[in-house]
Structure 1
């Protein structure tokens, strides 16, 4: 397991542990109080727990070595399971929360032992914050350069930004649940409890949209960042035999697996052996500036002209 996957695995395992605790607390509180908003939060945390299991599965499957049917390896397994996570967030988290909220509004029933709900929300907020802090710390360098949503868009490590989004939604969900319980108690109207549940569902629907959009883009195939692309181009130009870089294509096969296809115009007068040696230099130069590059395909323009 490389360093990036090790960090991602650590973030996901912390999130899994905290969410298991949160599910038990919120589920118990929902039964005691009869609160729809606490039940919605339990659905939310149950979905997050399932998601962490799937993310760990994706990371494990993505480490399988290349074979005849998958010559570029299984790096995109992580992206696939990240997309499945978005479906679960929408189906289990958002769908059930909205449904439960509507049911509470249409068939209201009084709340009881609301103090237990406040106590559990406090404990849940603490657990969510612990997990959120671990994920945020890993994501901080990217956030400093690109901002929160920019970092999510440019990140090639879905496990970390999914956990960060889930925990952010978890903290916001706790705030919504607290407001819903408070308003229900102050105005003695459980409609606020139902509205809080619907609000949590809408929040999770937004998170599901963000996760699905970014993981879909990674599944289709994203290029490396502009900075990395510039580094690769400059490294190729630094090879003495290279006259011009005609075309440079890149794609992430996984968080730390990059494919590079480059069309190079070498200087005139090189024979076949010299061109082959120059190609080796190009490949080495690319890997020196970006170790994540696992596959390099170099098309030599001078050889094409010779064959023509």
Structure 2
């Protein structure tokens, strides 16, 4: 993924969430609606998350140094993992607490009854714009993949995070609208608590999915099957009859480490082997541009086969 596309989606989400958070909080102050408070905190958490993603992207662009010779690309994964923690704690757990508090002491919405409906509808419109931007940017990079497959296999975390956050925000707004509407119709504040609880459960589930996917990236994922096949095919050429074994590792979303043991002819001179390795590296970088760190070990096929 081009990081610029990810930043565009993040900035669109941040702009929407900041405006939404302010209007939701004003609506809560006027109505004391539990669902509105849960949604206010949700939008604040989302805004903080988008700032974290932008910060992670900036820090990941630092040049490699002696202490971190492979660079800082994985900072993007770390900040995405922090986002899942924030969403779980500040968003999901707070909404569940607020639901418990409101259910134990329910109050109907007695003043400014039209405010939460107007705010929620306006928020749905703004959030839909943010979600649409994320979908458009994701469509540029996901190819023929389905959405679930894209979320699970994407190496760049920003767009999947924004997509899940925006989807959660839209569903959460619908749940809040349901809770507030039922409270206004029935004059029973427990419906407001139900809406808040549903938002909390939704955010906790999304946070768990994000944590699982970003944890895998933090541990270190190999290249996609398509890129692995392309690297293997590119390695074979003049002076390299075959690939004995191959390992790949993402140092960051757009930086791949390639380590391979390659077969060289038994009669090759040291100069022949060096030329073959240089040519193989050039072929790999041409086939898979993100393969920026390449280590190739020459060996004889029969020696390996013989143990």
TM-score by length of 1: 0.95
1:1-308 to 2 correspondences below 5 Å: 4-111=2-109, 112-141=111-140, 143=142, 145-237=144-236, 239-302=237-300
SS in 1 for 2:144: helix
- Post-superposition shift, 1:143? 5.0
SS in 2 for 1:157: coil
- Post-superposition shift, 1:83? 0.3
Gaps spanning 5+ residues in structure 1: where? none
- Post-superposition shift, 1:85? 0.5
Cα contact 1:34–1:110 (8 A) shared by 2: no
- Post-superposition shift, 1:302? 3.5
Gaps spanning 5+ residues in structure 2: where? none
Cα contact 1:29–1:38 (8 A) shared by 2: yes
CA–CA separation in structure 2 for the residues paired with 1:176 and 1:206:
15
CA–CA separation in structure 2 for the residues paired with 1:259 and 1:182:
54
SS in 2 for 1:146: coil
TM-score by length of 2: 0.95
* RMSD, matched Cα: 1.8
Q: Deviations over 1:242-277 (max 9, x none)?
A: 121111111111111111111111123111111011
Cα contact 1:114–1:181 (8 A) shared by 2: no
CA–CA separation in structure 2 for the residues paired with 1:58 and 1:142:
20
CA–CA separation in structure 2 for the residues paired with 1:227 and 1:27:
47
CA–CA separation in structure 2 for the residues paired with 1:92 and 1:54:
14
Cα contact 2:60–2:73 (8 A) shared by 1: yes
Q: Deviations over 1:194-220 (max 9, x none)?
A: 011010000000110111111110010
CA–CA separation in structure 1 for the residues paired with 2:249 and 2:273:
25
Aligned residues: 304
- Post-superposition shift, 1:225? 0.8
CA–CA separation in structure 1 for the residues paired with 2:47 and 2:72:
24
